[in-house]
C-alpha cells in the first residue's frame, strides 16, 4: 500500500482537528453506550490511535487506524446484535 500510494502520488497531509469531543455523543467515552465496557475501551483506544495517526503524514498508518476503528466498532455492533436487551430502554416511553 505504501508503494502504491507513492506511485499514484497519493499523500496524507495530516489532520489535527480529530478529537474525542468532535465525535457524536454515542461514540464519546463516558457516553450512554450500550454493550460491554471492555469492547468500548478497545474502540476508544482505536479512536485515539486514529487521532494520532491522522495528525501525521503516514497514509498507511491512517488506513490501518481506520481499519482498527472499524473492527472495534464492528465488535460492539456484533455484541449488540446478539443481545438486544439494551433496546428495552429505547422502546420505553
pLDDT of residue 51: 87
Cα separation, 59 vs 15, in Å, equals 12
Are the beta carbons of 49 and 65 closer than 8 angstroms? Answer: yes
Closest to 71 in 3D by CA, of 36, 34, 39, 48: 39
pLDDT of residue 43: 93
Per the structure block, which three cell numbers stand in for 63?
A: 488506513
Cα separation, 77 vs 70, in Å, equals 10
Alpha-carbon torsion (75, 64, 52, 24), positive or negative: negative
Helices (H) and strands (E) in the chain, counts: 4, 0
pLDDT of residue 7: 64
pLDDT of residue 91: 46
- pLDDT tens-place values along the chain, 93 residues long: 555 566 667 777 777 777 777 778 778 888 788 889 999 999 999 998 998 898 888 888 989 999 999 999 999 999 999 987 766 555 443
Are the beta carbons of 11 and 65 closer than 8 angstroms? Answer: no
pLDDT of residue 92: 43
Amino acid at each position: 500500500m505504501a508503494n502504491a500510494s507513492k506511485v499514484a502520488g497519493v499523500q496524507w497531509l495530516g489532520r489535527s482537528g480529530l478529537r474525542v469531543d468532535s465525535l457524536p455523543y454515542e461514540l464519546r467515552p463516558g457516553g450512554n453506550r450500550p454493550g460491554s465496557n471492555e469492547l468500548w475501551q478497545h474502540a476508544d483506544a482505536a479512536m485515539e490511535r486514529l487521532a494520532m495517526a491522522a495528525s501525521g503524514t503516514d497514509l498507511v498508518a491512517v488506513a490501518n487506524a481506520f481499519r482498527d476503528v472499524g473492527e472495534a466498532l464492528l465488535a460492539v455492533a456484533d455484541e449488540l446484535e446478539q443481545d438486544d436487551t439494551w433496546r428495552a430502554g429505547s422502546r420505553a416511553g
